Amino acid sequence: MINFCSLKQTEGTQLPIHYEAGSIETLIQLVDKNDGITILPQLATERLTASQKKKLREFLPPKPVREISIVTVTHFPRKRILQHLKEEIISSVKQSVATKNRGLRVIDMDL
C-alpha cells in the first residue's frame, strides 16, 4: 500500500495499476472477506463496526486530504443556491470532523 500511495503519474506515462471499485461498501466487503487492504475516506469509517474500526490505520504525516470545491462560471445566476449548498457541506463535514478532533480549513472565494 505504501508503494501504491507513493506512485506518481507523470505526464505521458501510465501507471501499471488500474484501481477502481463500484462503491466504498464493495471495498469494505472485499477487505472483510479476503483479509485485504484498501483506502477509505475518513467519513466512510464512521459506519464501520467496532471490529472493523480496530483494523484501521492512519497515514503518517503528511496525511492526504480531501478537497471539496464548488466551481461555476463568473456570472452564475443562482448564487443563493450555491451559498446554501456550501453551508450544508460545511455543516456536515464540521460535525464529522469535530468528533474526530481533526482540522477543517475553509477557503471562501467570493461565492
* pLDDT mean across residues, the chain: 77
Each residue of 24-47: pLDDT tens digit?
888 898 888 887 788 888 778 888
Higher pLDDT, 98 or 21: 21
Cβ-count burial of 20 within 10 angstroms (0-12 exposed, 13-18 middle, 19+ buried)? exposed
What is the predicted pLDDT for the residue at 42? 79
Higher pLDDT, 2 or 22: 22
Extract the C-alpha cell encoding 78.
443562482
What is the predicted pLDDT for the residue at 18? 59
**Sequence-distant (≥ 6) Cβ neighbours of residue 97 within 8 angstroms:** 103, 104
